[in-house]
Every structure is written in structure tokens, then in C-alpha cells.
Amino acid sequence: MSNAGVEPHPIVLPGNECLILRTIQSQDAEGLQAYVRGLSSESRRNRFLGTLSELAPTRLDDLIRMCGPRHVVLLALTQIGSKLQTVAEAMLMVAPDSERGEIALSVTDIWQHRGLGTVLITHLEVRAKRVGVRYLFGDVLRTNTAMKGLARKSGYSVRTLFTDARLVEIVKDLAPANARSARQAG
């Protein structure tokens, strides 16, 4: 697998808290599982669209392999003593030859509403553009006010999904506004 990961680099939140952002690595399996177990049941349900207490081994395995340009999991980490602890994760998946990319993310409960979700979704967009993605989308529980709020604030539209009444789809066209209007005019 190509090493197209993100080198660890600092990110600063609006409240001046500093975190480290980097691509997931194979040694993150235990930390990611601990992170998922540590989410509130509501946050877990919102992130994984159903009830679970931890990641199934196959799903965990799939996630820690996502370190390429088209399939990536980004982790935000905080330093606790000499250890780094995961406080958020953000995923981008782009199928081969597709101009659509799927995103999903979560922030651990005590770090929510401090601007981290906004930073992560922006990073996913930058990475998606780099691999030629035009549209980003994600499935979100209809009841997930926080994610719908983050999505709207970040320029996504929120659409009803007729295939599943529990869900809405968030979608963003990543093309610059002038390119969009040129396409519409042509």
C-alpha cells in the first residue's frame, strides 16, 4: 500500500487548544477501539448509524488499513502525559473512478462543540479535492441535530433519503462557485 498518509501536524481550535492530526496507522487498532468504546452511546449510534458497543474485528481491521489517498481515516490526538489519546476520527472513502466521496466523522463527547468537527470536515474536503472528488456526501441520522448543523455550516445541503426514512443525506459540490455557474450556463 502506498504511504500517502498525512505526517503528524498540529491543528489549533478556536479556543486555542492544540491537537495533533495524522493518518491512521496499523498500531492504532487498540487506541481506535478504546476511542469507540469511550464515546457515549448516542455518539456511537450517530456515527455508526446503529447500536454497537465497539467495532467488530473486521471493521476495525478495515479502518486501520485506510491510509491511502482515496480511503483514509484521520485521527486527532491529544497528549496526556507521555501518551497520545485519540479524541476524534474522520473518514473519506472514494470508489475507483468515482467523482463522489463519502465522509463520516466523530468527536469524543468532551471535545464536541469546540470547533474540531469543522476542522476535520475541512481537512477531508482538501484531501477529496486532491484525488479529483467533485461531490462529498454522507448518511446522517435524521435526528442528528449536531451533524446536520455542522454540515449546513460547512456548506452542505441536507436532503431527504427516500430509501431510508431514518436517514438524511448531506451533500456538497466541491467545485468553485464560478466553475459551477459556467457549467450551468454551458
Ligand X SMILES: CC(C)(COP(=O)(O)OP(=O)(O)OC[C@H]1O[C@@H](n2cnc3c(N)ncnc32)[C@H](O)[C@@H]1OP(=O)(O)O)[C@@H](O)C(=O)NCCC(=O)NCCS
Q: Which residues bind ligand X (CB under 6 A)?
A: 43, 46-47, 104-107, 112-118, 138, 140, 144-147, 149-150, 153
Nearest residue to ligand X on Cβ basis: 117
Our CB check for ligand X shows the closer of 4 and 45 to be 45
Rounded to the nearest whole angstrom, what is the least distance from the CB of residue 164 to ligand X in the complex? 14
Our CB check for ligand X shows the closer of 145 and 181 to be 145
Q: How far apart are CA 134 and CA 52, in angstroms?
A: 32
Q: How far apart are CA 139 and CA 165, in angstroms?
A: 11
Rounded to the nearest whole angstrom, what is the least distance from the CB of residue 155 to ligand X in the complex? 12
Rounded to the nearest whole angstrom, what is the least distance from the CB of residue 41 to ligand X in the complex? 11
Our CB check for ligand X shows the closer of 23 and 43 to be 43
SS3 9: strand
CA distances from 58 to 30, 62, 184 (A): 13, 6, 43
Q: How far apart are CA 37 and CA 56, in angstroms?
A: 12
- What is the DSSP code (8-state) at residue 111? G
CA distances from 48 to 8, 66, 69, 103 (A): 26, 17, 22, 12
Rounded to the nearest whole angstrom, what is the least distance from the CB of residue 117 to ligand X in the complex? 2
Our CB check for ligand X shows the closer of 130 and 152 to be 152
